[in-house]
Structure 1
Amino acid sequence: MSTRSDLLTSAEILLRTKGYAAFSYADLADDIRIKKASIHHHFPTKEGLAIAIVESYLFRFRKQLDAINDENISVIDRLNAFALMFAQSSQNGMLPLCGALAAELLALPESLREMTKVFFEIHLNWLHSNIKLGQELGELKAELNVINVSRLILNTLEGGSFVSWALNDDYQQSSGFDFVLDGLRASATHP
């Protein structure tokens, strides 16, 4: 891997475990064993580094969402795969990146505040389209308010990640999401 790539990887972990305000270039230098001046060569500002992290993450995240849609015909399966992303994301004491950013929203530079908003909108737009599809396919209740249900799912998954992080335990996908999903299913789709 290149130094730039190593910096992005290490900084993402620090951002998701310590938060934006709490990590420094000194932490990065210690982690990947380079001088702080070398970090400044690649990323002159912490804001620029964080923007690069979010852009890289968003690229991977969009690909994950596309892959979930491509690999799963059933909307129920898609929603379960979406929830699994949160469970995997919270491994090793890390918050999902969007949650880590949102937790420090007021401490972030304006550029990162805007990117955080876009990040959540990507989640919600994906959920909106899949919930509507689930209704059209008869997998989800037709009377559901798509906007409210999308928020409920995202709130449940993000909240579960924060509770797991605060308690320093393993995130359990079934710690609320399965209950929510069961309530969304159309009667004919219950096992």
Structure 2
Amino acid sequence: MSDTKDKIVMMADHLIRTQGFNAFSYKDIADPMEIKNAAIHYHFPSKADLGIGVIEHEIKKFREFAEKWRKLPEDKQLAKLVEVFHRHGTNGFICLMGSLSPDFETFTAPMKAKVQEMGNDIVNWLSTCLENGRVNGRFYFEGEASDRALLLITNLQSSLILSRVLGPSVFNRVSNRILKDLKP
């Protein structure tokens, strides 16, 4: 990506995580970057194209993280995921999927598909991590790993949202409980 395109994606990512997808315009990106709206339209003809660009960037980052974490024991991999969420919360962000979900029905079909791809990547990775951790004696839980993955991801997402209202300790309490409850 070009430097300008990267900066546009980063600014859009920030706005999505703090305000929501439908709450910002190209002007909200152009003004602080001191560029014209036309420069954004050059790289992203529609707002859906911009949304897809942000999601693709996030998918790429997640896949790179998951590849790095693959060599770690499963409990350490899960701790790394929690750290990513914690970093977002510390910066006043919520996770991208959690931020996009309320606006999901307003998205174009290609953007909906990209959000679903992101969600499936995370849940599938987490399901595999949990199942492998159970097999290797690092985790204990009842039921299907995919069901547990859904519980974990929704708890992490919602704890970031609640942290905005009730304070940062909410995320720490929820994430600590998640990790403790999985111990054999």
Q: Indicate the residue corresponding to 1:100 in structure 2.
A: 99
In structure 1, the residue matched to 2:39 is 38
- The alignment yields a C-alpha RMSD, in angstroms, of 1.8
Once the two structures are superposed, what CA deviation does each residue of 1:2-21 show, in whole Å capped at 9, x if it has no partner? Answer: 21121111111111111111
Q: Distance in 1 between matches of 2:174 and 2:3?
A: 40
**2: CA distance between counterparts of 1:142 and 1:98?**
25
Q: 1:170 to 1:183 in 2, by over 3 A?
A: closer
Residue type matched to 1:180 in 2? I
Q: Which residue of 1 aligns with 2:177?
A: 179
Structure 1 residue runs of 4 or more that deviate by more than 4 Å after TM superposition: none
C-alpha displacement at 1:22, in angstroms?
0.8
More helix by share: 2
- Distance across 2 between alignment mates of 1:141 and 1:84: 21
Aligned match of 1:65: 66
5+ unaligned residues in a row in structure 2: which ranges? none
Letter in 2 for 1:32: M
Cα distance between partner residues in 1 of 2:141 and 2:13: 40
CA contact (8 A) 1:54 1:115 kept: yes
TM-score, with normalisation over the residues of structure 1? 0.87
Cα deviation digits, residues 42-77 of structure 1 (max 9, x gap): 22111111111111111111111221223x2x2211
CA distance in 2, matches of 1:177, 1:142: 16
Amino acid at match of 1:46: K
Structure 2 distance, partners of 1:42, 1:151, is 35
Consecutive unaligned residues in structure 1, runs of 5 or more: 187-191
Corresponding residue for residue 54 of structure 1: 55
Give the equivalent residue in structure 1 for 2:132. 133
Same amino acid, percent of matched pairs: 25
Structure number with larger C-alpha Rg: 1
